[in-house]
Structure 1
Amino acid sequence: MADRCGSVLVMTNSRDVTADVVLRVLAERGVPVVRLDPGADLHAGASLTAMYGMGGQRGSLRTRSRELDLTRVRSVWVRRASPYGGPAQLEEQDRRFAAAQALWGAGGILASLPGAHYVNHPWANRGAEYKPAQLAVARRHGFPVPDTLITNELSAAQEFVAGQAGGVVYKPLWNTAYEVDGLPRQVWVREVRGNELTAGVEVCPHLFQAKVDKAFDVRVTAVGDRLFAIRIDSPDLDWRHRQGLMECAPVLVPGEVSRAVAGYLGELRLVYGAFDFAVTGAGEWYFLECNPNGQWAWQLPETTDAIAQAIADQLQRGPDT
């Protein structure tokens, strides 16, 4: 494995314990790492400078404990950074202005580091997060995809639900923060019946999907060309709802699924992807979604360790040159 000199830049928040797993591996390997939460740290003593011109591109990042030459970043791991925000002491309008400048300025610098290997590039991450795009790309690469309707038209939703003999589920198009009486609430995947549909459908697009008669779920975590798959047995339609009740075991990935995963990652320019499948009793793997920045440290200890090592390999190696 080639090993490019320079530091690994990890962009995430200070509470990201999943990132800590990989950082320990990199520390054991003696790979220098700079950790940055640009949305928060640039208001707390960190500074970022970049120069562009006929003489080339150069720049520097200074945090409370590190100084980094931006031309010597071998890899960037884009994890769970805080949203860009303006300094709290500013008035609301000025704070919004400062937040936008930080997004387009600091965000642009950190997404354009010369020669760095991104896992994943932030613009690739954003593009791959749209569920309609996921479904379209999955179909192009041969994944079976459940019949899916995205609409804000009540009559279309009613007609779709009535036409699915095996039932229909609803899932949000984006995991938007939601509160009830000041307490956070999660919108889980749930089954929907025709008599539950109201004019509320017309407020925004909703995603309705034919319910798969599944025997179990599978999570496939892809890191480059390496796949780590576990079977998930859960009493819930959405296994994330009560993870303490699910049972996990390693499972083999069929060859056609492996090839489709490779094609999917290639089209969307992803190094990492967390794929979710519903597997029927007949052995069909139905594509549900792919989170380009999905969590993975909740899996079996041996799987978690293997994924951490694979991500560390990507970051340590840097780009292929």
Structure 2
Amino acid sequence: MILFFGRTDDPPLSRAISAARDADLRHLVIDQARTARYDLVVGTDALDARLAVEGMRLRLGEVSAVYARPLEPPEEGDPAARARATAFQEWFVGWLDTTPAVVVSRPRAMASNSSKPYQAQLIGRSGFAVPETLISDDPDEILAFRARHGRIVYKSVSGIRSIVREFTAADESRLALVRGLPTQFQAYVPGQDVRVHVVGEDAYAAAVDSDAIDYRYADQAGEPARLAPYELPPDTARRCVELAATLDLPLAGIDLRRTPDGAWVCFEVNPMPAYSYYEAHTGLPIASALVAHLAGRRTAAPVGV
């Protein structure tokens, strides 16, 4: 039995559920919007608790694999229902870290992305180049960093999603604000963006054509990014798979940039990637590969492996 846990209005989850249905795999969906209605019975063995979902009863010990995308549940319902849903989610997320089932991905493995500077060290140890980085609350130190590199960008230090922006003259005028909030700055890296999704032992790459500093928000400037399947060099694909395995992430979104001289720079590894955006724009079979991994199978080798 494969479990899907998250919000059914979340495209990555809904695509995976559809792929499981198309593959005729036995599965059950735990919808975060409805968890207040589910019954959970925990006995002496918490790993083998019983769950009642939409009229179906399941011993969690029968679960072979889980794809979990725990997002914030809807703020609907009365206080008692919200408290019940919160308690269910806290227990279930804890179970994900302890169950012997295949889990994509365990909450404890996602923790590496909570600190981008920490994760960058792990990326560097894997053999990828990483941008030179400064985390500072000192305006003079930041200006010296820009003088050394010419162009720099800034982004969130934590795993919370933020828009990557280039440091400009307008930012210089409000630089004193960093004294209250240390900020991460990086040397600007020119080149071609490539997003790689690792699924188990396979890597699916998409090239991104965009002039935006952060192509995820390029459409806000009226110039949407253009994506296409990309053939990774075999050694780069292998390194991506090894990096995801090192981070204990069966599914990972790896942000690379190929520089004009052919080097590969890695910015970060997303432990809960919204792969649906890339799949929809390239046709890469990421959802099918994901459910095949959950079922203990492997799809045909993708481009770049």
Q: TM-score range by the shorter chain?
A: 0.7 to 0.9
- When the two chains are superposed, the root-mean-square deviation of aligned CA atoms in Å is 2.8
Work out whether residues 274 and 291 of structure 1, in 8 Å CA contact, stay in contact via their aligned partners in 2. Answer: yes
State whether structure 2 residue 50 is matched by structure 1 residue 52: no
Work out whether residues 202 and 241 of structure 2, in 8 Å CA contact, stay in contact via their aligned partners in 1. Answer: no
State whether structure 2 residue 35 is matched by structure 1 residue 42: yes
State whether structure 2 residue 18 is matched by structure 1 residue 18: no
State whether structure 2 residue 259 is matched by structure 1 residue 290: no
Aligned-partner Cα distance in 2 for 1:227–1:200: 41
Aligned-partner Cα distance in 2 for 1:70–1:292: 24
- Name 2:184's counterpart in structure 1: 207
- The alpha carbon displacement at 1:129 in A equals 4.2
- Per the alignment, do residues 85 and 193 of structure 1 end up closer, same or farther by CA in structure 2, a change over 3 Å counting? same
State whether structure 2 residue 205 is matched by structure 1 residue 221: no
Q: Specify the code of the residue in structure 2 equivalent to 1:298.
A: Y
Aligned-partner Cα distance in 1 for 2:233–2:278: 20
State whether structure 2 residue 126 is matched by structure 1 residue 118: no
Q: Specify the code of the residue in structure 1 equivalent to 2:163.
A: W
How does the TM-score come out when normalised to structure 1?
0.80
SS of 2:285's partner is helix
- The alpha carbon displacement at 1:41 in A equals 2.9
Q: Specify the code of the residue in structure 2 equivalent to 1:222.
A: V
Q: Specify the code of the residue in structure 1 equivalent to 2:51.
A: L
- Name 2:67's counterpart in structure 1: 77
- Per the alignment, do residues 120 and 313 of structure 1 end up closer, same or farther by CA in structure 2, a change over 3 Å counting? same
- Per the alignment, do residues 42 and 299 of structure 1 end up closer, same or farther by CA in structure 2, a change over 3 Å counting? closer
- The alpha carbon displacement at 1:49 in A equals 2.2
- Per the alignment, do residues 70 and 99 of structure 1 end up closer, same or farther by CA in structure 2, a change over 3 Å counting? closer
Aligned-partner Cα distance in 2 for 1:270–1:60: 27
- Per the alignment, do residues 37 and 246 of structure 1 end up closer, same or farther by CA in structure 2, a change over 3 Å counting? same
State whether structure 2 residue 156 is matched by structure 1 residue 172: yes
SS of 2:7's partner is coil
- The alpha carbon displacement at 1:176 in A equals 4.8
- The alpha carbon displacement at 1:317 in A equals 1.7
SS of 1:298's partner is helix
SS of 2:275's partner is coil
- Name 1:182's counterpart in structure 2: none
User: Quick one: which of 199, 204, 207 aligns to 1:231?
Assistant: 207
Aligned-partner Cα distance in 1 for 2:205–2:113: 20
Work out whether residues 84 and 103 of structure 1, in 8 Å CA contact, stay in contact via their aligned partners in 2. Answer: no
Aligned-partner Cα distance in 2 for 1:202–1:67: 55
Q: Specify the code of the residue in structure 2 equivalent to 1:209.
A: Q
Aligned-partner Cα distance in 2 for 1:42–1:247: 38
User: Quick one: which of 127, 143, 148 aligns to 1:142?
Assistant: 127
SS of 2:268's partner is strand
SS of 1:173's partner is coil
Q: Specify the code of the residue in structure 1 equivalent to 2:263.
A: E
Aligned-partner Cα distance in 1 for 2:247–2:159: 20
- Per the alignment, do residues 76 and 212 of structure 1 end up closer, same or farther by CA in structure 2, a change over 3 Å counting? same
- Name 2:51's counterpart in structure 1: 61
Instruction: Structure 1: give runs of 5+ residues left out of the alignment.
Output: 1-6, 178-186
Aligned-partner Cα distance in 2 for 1:297–1:86: 26
- Per the alignment, do residues 172 and 57 of structure 1 end up closer, same or farther by CA in structure 2, a change over 3 Å counting? closer
Aligned-partner Cα distance in 2 for 1:71–1:197: 55
User: Quick one: which of 92, 95, 113 aligns to 1:109?
Assistant: 95
Q: Specify the code of the residue in structure 2 equivalent to 1:60.
A: R
- The alpha carbon displacement at 1:204 in A equals 2.1
How does the TM-score come out when normalised to structure 2?
0.84
- The alpha carbon displacement at 1:81 in A equals 3.2
- Name 1:184's counterpart in structure 2: none
- Per the alignment, do residues 132 and 175 of structure 1 end up closer, same or farther by CA in structure 2, a change over 3 Å counting? closer
